[in-house]
Structure 1
C-alpha cells in the first residue's frame, strides 16, 4: 500500500512539474493563449529582441562618438519602440505571456559592449545589429502566411523596415573596416 501511495505521489509530482513548463499559458491561468505554435514564439521573441535592440542602441547613443552610428541607434530606438508597442498590444490581446526585459544572449552582449570603447565599441555594436536584423527578418518571415490576419499584417508591415535597418547596418559596417 505504501508503495502504491508513493508511486501515485511521484506521478502527481512529475505531471505537476511538466505542467509548469507549458509555454502556451496566458497571463491569467484560466485563459489559454489565442495564437498557434507558429505565432507564439514570433510574438515572444519579437518583443524580447526589440527590447534588446532598444537597450543596445541606448548604449550606443551614450558610448559611440560616430555621428552615423548615433543616428542609426536613434532610429533603432524609435522604430523598435514603436514595433514593440504593436507586438505587445497584439500579444496582450491574444493572451500571450509577454516576456520582461531581454534574453540571456543579449544580456551577455550588453555586458560585453559596456566594456568596449571607441572603434571597438562601434564595430561590435554594428556587427550585433547586422546579426540581430538577419535573425529578426527570419523570425518575421515565419509568420507572413499565418492564419491570424493581424499577426500576418504586422509582419508584412514590419519586414520592409527590418530590411532597411539591415541594409543600413551593413553599409555602416563596411565603412568601419
Structure 2
C-alpha cells in the first residue's frame, strides 16, 4: 500500500508531511531510522524523537558530516539538538563519504517514507515537497539494509565527544539554533 503526501504553502494542510512524520515516529515501537541531509526539527518532531528513544525505541539519525554539508548554518543548527537527543537515547551518525542526499524514514518493519522532504522547518512548512509512504514490510526491510550499509560509512556521535566541543563551536550551534525556525 502506498500513500503520496504533498505539502506546500498553498495547500489546505501545509504541514501534512510534518504531521505524517511526527505521527509515524510517535507510533514506533521497535525502531525508527532516519536519513536526512538537513536536520532542524521543530518542537513536535523533537519531542516525538526524544519520547520514542526514551521508551526504548532504537532511534537512529544519519546526517552528513558537518564539513560535507553544503550549509554550515543548517549543520550547526541541527547539531545544537544532539545533546538532548543523545541524552534521551537517540543514536546519531555523521556520514563520511560526502554530502548525504538520501531522505527517508523507517518505522519498525511496517512503514517507509521516501521523498523530497528533509527533517527541517523549511521542508515541513515552506517548501513544496512530496513524500511517498510505503506500508510494505519487504520494502521497509530492503531500505533498512540500505541504511545499515550507509551506517558502515558513518561515525557515531558520542556524548563524551560533544562535551569536549570548543567554545566557538558551542556558540556557533547556539546562534544557529536561534535561527532554526527560519532554516
TM bucket by the smaller chain? under 0.3
Bigger helix share: 1
Greater strand share, structure number: 2
TM-score, normalised by the number of residues in structure 1? 0.27
Q: Whose Rg is larger? A: 1
Q: Which has the higher contact order (CA 8 A, sep 6+)?
A: 2
When normalised by structure 2's length, the TM-score is 0.27
